[in-house]
Structure 1
């Protein structure tokens, strides 16, 4: 549904974290299985985030240092 990449305001460079929302809930377990996998030599941390009063499920993706 959407991807939001968190960027440094001054430089515009990504901070290594993104939020991804899916239209189809069936793909969420697949995305969660990516937790701990390698991405360009860095470890992905994938977790589920649910905001209050939101039906949409968002996954927070963070590249571990």
Structure 2
């Protein structure tokens, strides 16, 4: 999540606290939209590979491997 937080801070000119709140809001939004059995994927994202893990999670929704 650190990468997402840094991107939010950079693009939106946010301080670290506000960027973290943004990340938390995104995670909660996704949890509201995804089935409950996929919430663990969001909770377990590795901060070093957020984009890759998120892409893998989305691919899994559509049956891709």
Structure-1-length-normalised TM-score: 0.31
Structure-2-length-normalised TM-score: 0.31
More strand by share: 1
More helix by share: 2
